[in-house]
Amino acid sequence: MATPVKMPELGESITEGTITRWLKQEGDQVEADEPLFEVSTDKVDTEVPSPVAGVLKTIKVQADETVEVGAELAVIGGGGGAEPAEAKEAKEQEPAEPKEEAAAEKKPSKDKAAARSGNGNGNGKAKGDGNGKAAAVVSPLVRRLAREHDVDLSQVTGSGSGGRVRREDVEAFVQQRGQEPAAAKAGGGTEAKAKPAAGAATGPQVAVPLAKGLREQVVPATRTRKVIAQRMVASLQVSAQLTSAVEIDMTRVMRLRERAKDDFKQREGASLSPMPFAVLALIAAIREFPTVNSAMDEDGNLHVYQDVHLGVAVDTPKGLFVPVVKNADSLNLAGLAKAVADVAKRTRDGKIGPDELSGSTISLTNTGSRGAVWDTPIINQPNAAIFATPAIVKRPVVVDDPDLGEVVAVRHMMYGILTYDHRIIDGADAARFLVKVKEVLEAADFEGDLGLERE
């Protein structure tokens, strides 16, 4: 019996995946649940196990090809790896396809190609004046992107197998086109070639030439790195981003942590870092300033969320990922410490689910874990803000002692940093939000969460 291997469902919002590598070759014996191939989406890279034991008879989708969820990728059969004699003989006896018919079959007419690219469907968005070859082999997601951004797919250079146009190619094309003058984007008439206004760009910006004559190693960017790069640039283009910060005296938090960390580790099975304290303060500030926990849709409507789904930036060998702790506002200090440690570990191990990498309402990046004392993070779209916790350092500061007045003392200090979307949040509100975070952390009334008596 033959068992088809299909592209699995990798999450609610994921409609397609790219085969990055086959871990078995045709003719290889595979066991049930043994890793069979690697698949990459715009959210996660993961290994997919074999559904059954048997021999990998046929691979139908090669590496670097993108297909929809449910598409047949390969066939696994029982027995040896050689092709059955009957099947081989039948294949040899099949009549050869006439070259003219084959060429006609493989080369669709302009009308059909235009229809596949979306032209003639009534929305008037996708152009049909190209050769149509690219539109005939792209996925529905790519065609949808082309329609949304008014892109003629025949003008896009594909980076996939056989020149296949992929999602990243359309996004890069749109980004490059965004640097052209408005007249160039308008179309091919003489009006479109009119001289731009003074001070306007005269064409696509040219990258600064690379240095010549140097010893170098050219390292191809991984798909994950390309996706991260595109998302970072896209985030800056989508929202008006500003960064504000306050100084936070973390001395009480650090003293509480020092008192409780050993018992906490033994009791909860997780290390007690300063991060869950910061998250509790973040949630307390959100309750007072809920707009920070929001997003703006394409129509300019503001979606203010009542639940806090916290995206946590995690550094992995493959690059930066942002898994989500759902309903973080329902967790106490111990629950947050365990939840953050759990998603971070599973992300680094490549075991995080695709659905756990989306749906955040606000994000946090802990650059202090690597020693950075200052940061200007980029917003994780479509969030309205991202909070950064850089390193906590000891340094002399002026404090107001009730008996001695103003004195210089050594304190544990940290910058509380917020990058926010100025379309949604005003600077004054961002400052008020940060001051609330500061007040909660400096008061450090966390003894109850730690099982300690207040000193």
Tell me the Cα Rg of the chain.
28
Closest CA to 409 of 419, 421, 420, 399: 399
SS3 232: helix
Look at residues 253, 231, 387 and name the one whose alpha carbon lies nearest to residue 308.
387
> Which of the 8 DSSP states describes residue 165?
-
Cα–Cα separations (whole angstroms), residue 363 to 69, 127, 170, 173? 29, 38, 28, 29
Question: Phi then psi for 36, rounded to 5 degrees?
Answer: -110, -45
Contacts of 1 (CB under 8 A, 6+ apart): 77, 78
Q: Enter the DSSP assignment of 66.
A: E
Active-site residue list: 422, 426
Cis omega before residue 196 (within 30°)?
no
Q: What share of the chain is helix, strand, coil (3-state, %, to 5)?
A: 35, 20, 40
C-alpha 168/C-alpha 155 separation (Å) is 14
Distance CA 352, CA 323 (A): 8
Q: What is the DSSP letter of 290?
A: G
Kindly report each contact of residues 319-327 with a partner whose C-beta sits within 8 Å and lies 24 or more positions away, as own/partner: 319/222, 319/224, 319/225, 319/228, 320/228, 321/44, 321/347, 321/352, 321/357, 322/357, 322/360, 322/363, 322/380, 323/347, 323/352, 323/356, 323/357, 324/356, 324/357, 324/358, 324/359, 324/360, 326/359
Q: How far apart are CA 36 and CA 50, in angstroms?
A: 5
Instruction: Tell me which residue of 368, 388, 410 sits closest to 273, measured CA to CA.
Output: 368
Q: What are phi and psi of 28, to 5 degrees?
A: -80, 145
